[in-house]
Amino acid sequence: MAIVQQKAQCVLWFAEFESVVTVQHNFRWQYPRQRIPEQRAICCFHETGPVQKNQSPGRPRTSEEKVELLRLSCVRSPKNLELGIPKTTMQNVLHKRLRLYAYKIQLRHEIKSENRPNACNQSIPGMLNVHLIPHSHDDVGYRKTVDQYYYGVVTKNTPKGGVQYIIDTVTQELAKDPKKRFVQVETEFLWKWWQEENDEMRQLYRQLVDAGQIEIIGGGVVMNDEADTHYQTTIDQFSLGFRYSASPLLDEMLGECGRPRIGWQIDPFGHSKETASIMAQMGFDALFFARLDYEDKQNRIESKTMEMVWQANKNLGLSSDLFTSVLYNHYSFPTGFCNDISCSDDPFIDDKNSPDYNVDEKVTKFLDFIDDVAAAYSTDNILITMGQDFTYQSAHMNYKNMDKLIKYVNLLQKNNSNINVFYSTPSCYVKAIHDANQTWTTKSDDFFPYGNDPHSYWTGYFTSRPTNKRYERIGNNFLQVCKQLSVLSRVSDKSLLKKLSYLGNAMAILQHHDAITGTDTQDVADDYMRMLSVGIDKCEDIPTTAYNKMLSQESSETKTNLTMRSCLLLNISQCDISESSSEFLVTIYNPLARPTSHYVRLPVNGNNYVVTDYNGAQVPSQMIPVPQSVLDIPYRKSVATQELVFRAADIPPLGLQSYKVSLSENNSQGGSVTSNNHTISNGDVTVELDADLGTVKLISMNGIDLPLTQSIMYYNAFHGNDAEAANISSGAYIFRPTSEGVQKINDKVNVTVYKGNLIEEIHQVFNEWVSQVIRVYKQEKHIEFDWMVGPIPVDDGTGKEVISRFTTKLDSKGIFYTDANGREMQKRQRNYRPTWTWNISEPVAGNYYPTTTRILIKDEAKGLQFAILNDRSQGGSSLQDGEIELMVHRRVLKIQHYNEALNETAYGAGVIARGRHIVMVGNSSAQERLLVQRTLLAPWVFLTPGSGNPVQVKGLTNSLPENVHLLTLEPWEKGSILIRVEHIMENGEDPVMSQNITVDLKEILAPLAVKSFYETTIDGKMALQSMERLEWRTADNSRPHIHHNINNFSISLSPMQIRTFIVAVNHIAPSPTTAPSSGCSNIIRDNCLVLISLYISLKFNFAV
Ligand SMILES: [Zn+2]
């Protein structure tokens, strides 16, 4: 091991060269007989900035004792010495009193995982160890907005809950007693608090984290929903949360000890395999949650299988297995033990002379509860949640009574009680049960849908607030566009990057389980949409800057200063620029790493336009009428009655391609003609209507003729008194129709058919609040069903749940498939649960599943599959063989769960929702998966009024193969970038595209000149080689891990594999990229003293 001088030399070299390899190289020359320090050791020299940050005015208020203490500590080995002096004080003393100069490097002890138990209050072997977990469930918006919850605003129907006070008072209580524990979950709130606190409070908080008294669990910006979220946004929200909690760059907020190792999804309404898989790939040891089907839970309690190993992704094998523990008592305090300021349970009254003395009664009650819990679990450890929503605002009350609970229960040990109660954290509990070394059962399906009782299936929130769910997808689309363009154009302007992070944070907040789900109040939903709108608006500056920079990089002659703007009201065919300009430039950015083509549609006021591409060639275009139902939207502020349509072909990967559009006087342009024919076709794809009814009767594509009917219908929502399960109403969470029967809107549909050279459309009008456009585009092998529903009438006092139902004659044998958050397909069987016998009490709602991007049925005998892709999350099912239905909109009138009714209005009437279903028929999922990506990361259309020259700018020079998706490309720390690449197929899905594949990062990112890279966990914050997870024994441990092969710059990908890399590139900044050191395990760490010693050693020529 290197001696201190050698370490110091390493520090200096690392400061000078910023490269681990160079340090090792120099070390070899300078100290030829010494063992070269490993990369990990060198990487522990973190740059933290100078000791003395800012000159503060006036005399430092530091006592002479502290100065002397520090001086003395510098003349003897400070190792293992705890001074208990805040870092800022140390900085002052070092610089001002001892006249030492600023240093730049921090040396940290290597932290070993075996140190972990030090942070845990010890359990006692042979006893029943009861782990009390103090926690507070702090929704990032629900019945109050994010800020109202943080600051503690009183609003209608909500008490004065303030998260800032929770963190304040918990910190104070924990500082008084090293045995006390608390878990912090949502980093959105922690980050707010951190920014407002002074250095001393931050230092205290960090010490509590270091000591394992505060454990950061979950650690995302929010506790995300698992049904309506897409995996891309889930990964992003964790990645952003970890940057808050574990980033050494953000003012050393919490350092490595702040890195979460536990999933804590205690409130989301059902649980997806993809979320569990992502957690496994972040290095989590375990997941805890509360909500699962009531029948499933009862079975698990009886069979002692409340804990299991969840096989979260069959393609990824052991790599995505996650130990999963179901909480016994929801996430609440045991009944009678909520001694929070918000509760009314009696405190411990332990004065024996008091007539209210209640210790014996309370202890007995607690022991009864413990007995019940212990009977449901299989080790001699049980976990008891001591918390509820927004509890611990006055933490002293909670801890004082828990202290007494622990004291009086443990006192019974003198009388041979074997109950041992203590403060604990989920990590300590997990360590304890892991040590039990038993063989666990496994689970390979998911926890959807969540049934709370025989009539409460929480499947309504799969669709609630459909317009907000779509806006969230648009937000993600644009966020990825902005991230990519920031990298490609070498954006280094801090104000621009700040705008990017605003949108990133808004998107992360939207993943909260009361945000994207639509289970919030209207005011809060409006606030989420406000955040997203502000975020999109802020980010609009990035594409403009990027475009101009990228163009000037391509050629010095093409300097431009264009301003590009998005038209965000295209869903109602409204766009100021295209409607008011006789000439404008359309610039399309392709966020996929392969070329794509895209149909641009713009509302215009003229009749004829000429579209010219970057080669000066005229591009075919067509005019198509805006549907009458869109023209009739009362708040639409547009006089455009037609849309201009053209195909932007072969937009390069991550490239920009622009077109000039000019109003023309001549009549050469092809418009649409009204046709009496009831068939539309592009040559490959055909839709045939029933001439009498006006509804679809047959579709053809890929050489297959498929008889199909489709209609928009609704269920009447059940309105009960909610006093008991049988009378539960449909609401924002729960879907409960009055019966299995659907209400038809109309037997006959009014139809107009338009045909042209690029696009053919059927405009259907079902009635005054339901309409639809069915369309086929030339060269596209799918059909679009563009539905528009609303305002849903409720004058009859009945809520309505509107569906689009597709009926074929395919023999699907009760089986259908829905995606897990946009990734692995989940097999569903009608009227069946894989892990218990289901008593079917709600045959419609209980068969609904979350459909994030795709739902399909198969006819195995015919070798056919019929799939529907959607543009936002929806509830979906197949209630009859050959049938698929998706719920598109809902308006229900009963107030549920102390919330408002889900009765959305806008502009004084019920909300109108519009969206697309894409229909495909074929025999492979490959084309569906490619189209899902084109829907999710659609080319983004920017407009610039006035004249300009169309151009093409290539972002990447090489395309990725079709089965490899560039999931993320974003600016990262120290001028590096983060890249995620993904194999989009599952094993066996396609004979060609499901094969393993190798790609070369240097080639993909050729324009960025890759210098070096290292692989990380999926969140981007920990070197993959540092990831160590607990291994759990099951009967099925033979399944493989996936490999992470790297050969020079070539990386391999197996089906469903996502790999994340931090890449040092030449253009952005000179800093190198080195892997962060291994994660901490909540153990005591050195507090800067080693580095002080090191610095002083240097100053005094190693004389100390
Ligand atoms: Zn919640």
Does 794 have pLDDT greater than 80?
yes
- Average of per-residue pLDDT values in the chain: 88
Does 1084 have pLDDT greater than 80?
no
How many Å lie between the centroid of ligand 1 and the Cα of residue 137?
6
Supply 361's token pair. Answer: 């009664």
Does 248 have pLDDT greater than 50?
no
How many Å lie between the centroid of ligand 1 and the Cα of residue 691?
51
Mean pLDDT along residues 715-732: 92
Handedness of CA 1000, 1005, 1011, 1015 (dihedral sign): negative
Report pLDDT digits (tens) over 896-924.
666 689 999 999 999 999 999 999 999 88
How many Å lie between the centroid of ligand 1 and the Cα of residue 59?
48
Residues 773 and 778: their CA atoms lie apart, in Å, by 16
Alpha helix segments (H runs only) across 620-733: 628-631
User: Which pLDDT value is given to residue 666?
Assistant: 74
pLDDT confidence band for 1073 (50 / 70 / 90)? very low
How many Å lie between the centroid of ligand 1 and the Cα of residue 268?
7
Does 1077 have pLDDT greater than 80?
no
Which residue shows structure tokens 């933490």? Answer: 395
Comparing 15 with 786, the larger pLDDT belongs to 786
Residues 502 and 1022: their CA atoms lie apart, in Å, by 23
Residues 336 and 346: their CA atoms lie apart, in Å, by 7
How many Å lie between the centroid of ligand 1 and the Cα of residue 800?
26
Question: Which of 507, 612, 588, 496 lies closest to 545, judged by CA?
Answer: 496
Q: Residue 737 gets which letter from DSSP?
A: B
Does 74 have pLDDT greater than 60?
no
How many Å lie between the centroid of ligand 1 and the Cα of residue 821?
20
Does 1083 have pLDDT greater than 80?
no
Mean pLDDT along residues 867-885: 98
User: Which pLDDT value is given to residue 755?
Assistant: 96
Question: Which of 798, 758, 756, 753 lies closest to 773, judged by CA?
Answer: 753
Residue 618: strand, helix, or coil: strand
Residue 667: strand, helix, or coil: coil
Mean pLDDT along residues 507-528: 96
Handedness of CA 268, 270, 275, 277 (dihedral sign): positive
Mean pLDDT along residues 60-64: 61
How many Å lie between the centroid of ligand 1 and the Cα of residue 327?
15
Beta bridge partners of 588: 657, 941
Does 598 have pLDDT greater than 80?
yes
How many Å lie between the centroid of ligand 1 and the Cα of residue 36?
51
How many Å lie between the centroid of ligand 1 and the Cα of residue 380?
30
Does 1096 have pLDDT greater than 70?
no
Distance from chain centroid for Cα 83 = 41
pLDDT confidence band for 3 (50 / 70 / 90)? low
How many Å lie between the centroid of ligand 1 and the Cα of residue 988?
38
**Cβ atoms of residues 830 and 780 within 8 Å:** no
Does 644 have pLDDT greater than 50?
yes
Q: Which amino acid would we find at residue 1062?
A: I
Residues 718 and 735: their CA atoms lie apart, in Å, by 9
Which residue shows structure tokens 């995302």? Answer: 220
What are the backbone angles phi and psi of residue 190, rounded to the nearest 5°?
-60, -40
User: Which pLDDT value is given to residue 41?
Assistant: 66
Does 515 have pLDDT greater than 50?
yes
3-state secondary structure 282-322: CCCCEEEECCCCHHHHHHHHHCCCCEEEEECCCCCEHHHEE
Q: What percent of the chain has pLDDT over 90?
A: 72
Q: Is 25 exposed, middle or buried (0-12, 13-18, 19+ CB in 10 A)?
A: middle
Report pLDDT digits (tens) over 6-50.
776 776 676 666 677 777 777 777 777 777 777 666 655 443 333
pLDDT confidence band for 1086 (50 / 70 / 90)? very low
How many Å lie between the centroid of ligand 1 and the Cα of residue 168?
21
**Cβ atoms of residues 713 and 792 within 8 Å:** no
Does 1024 have pLDDT greater than 70?
yes
Residue 625: strand, helix, or coil: strand
How many Å lie between the centroid of ligand 1 and the Cα of residue 236?
20
Q: Is the pTM of this model over 0.75?
A: yes
Residue 1007: its H or E element: none
Mean pLDDT along residues 319-324: 97
How many Å lie between the centroid of ligand 1 and the Cα of residue 222?
10
Mean pLDDT along residues 703-725: 94
267 counts as catalytic: yes
Report pLDDT digits (tens) over 604-626.
999 999 999 999 999 999 999 99
How many Å lie between the centroid of ligand 1 and the Cα of residue 221?
13
Report pLDDT digits (tens) over 437-479.
999 999 999 999 999 999 999 999 999 999 999 999 999 999 9
Q: Do the bridges between strand 286-289 and strand 321-326 make them parallel or antiparallel, or are there none, so unpaired? A: parallel
Q: Which of 393-402, 657-666, 845-854 is predicted least confidently?
A: 657-666
Beta bridge partners of 754: 674, 761
How many Å lie between the centroid of ligand 1 and the Cα of residue 219?
15
Supply 615's token pair. Answer: 């080669």
Residue 43: its H or E element: helix 39-43
How many Å lie between the centroid of ligand 1 and the Cα of residue 224?
9
User: Which pLDDT value is given to residue 548?
Assistant: 87
How many Å lie between the centroid of ligand 1 and the Cα of residue 733?
13
How many Å lie between the centroid of ligand 1 and the Cα of residue 760?
46
Which residue shows structure tokens 């395990």? Answer: 1081
How many Å lie between the centroid of ligand 1 and the Cα of residue 166?
16
Those residues whose C-beta lies under 8 Å from the C-beta of residue 361, and which sit 6 or more positions away, are: none
Comparing 355 with 1092, the larger pLDDT belongs to 355
Highest-confidence segment of 150-154, 469-473, 1041-1045: 469-473
Catalytic residue among 267, 446, 520, 1086: 267
Report pLDDT digits (tens) over 372-426.
999 999 999 999 999 999 999 999 999 999 999 999 999 999 999 999 999 999 9
Q: Which amino acid would we find at residue 691?
A: A
How many Å lie between the centroid of ligand 1 and the Cα of residue 267?
5
Distance from chain centroid for Cα 998 = 27
How many Å lie between the centroid of ligand 1 and the Cα of residue 247?
26
Report pLDDT digits (tens) over 168-225.
999 999 999 999 999 999 999 999 999 899 988 988 998 898 888 999 999 999 999 9
Residues 979 and 293: their CA atoms lie apart, in Å, by 38
> What is the signed CA dihedral for 128, 129, 130, 135, rounded to 10 degrees?
-160
Residues 945 and 947: their CA atoms lie apart, in Å, by 7
Question: Which of 1084, 1098, 1093, 1090 lies closest to 108, judged by CA?
Answer: 1090
Question: Which of 966, 1079, 855 lies closest to 487, judged by CA?
Answer: 966
**Cβ atoms of residues 655 and 649 within 8 Å:** no
Residues 593 and 960: their CA atoms lie apart, in Å, by 6
Mean pLDDT along residues 727-733: 93
How many Å lie between the centroid of ligand 1 and the Cα of residue 512?
8
Question: Which of 835, 831, 846, 829 lies closest to 299, judged by CA?
Answer: 835
How many Å lie between the centroid of ligand 1 and the Cα of residue 892?
22
As a whole number of Å, the CA-based R_g of the chain is 31
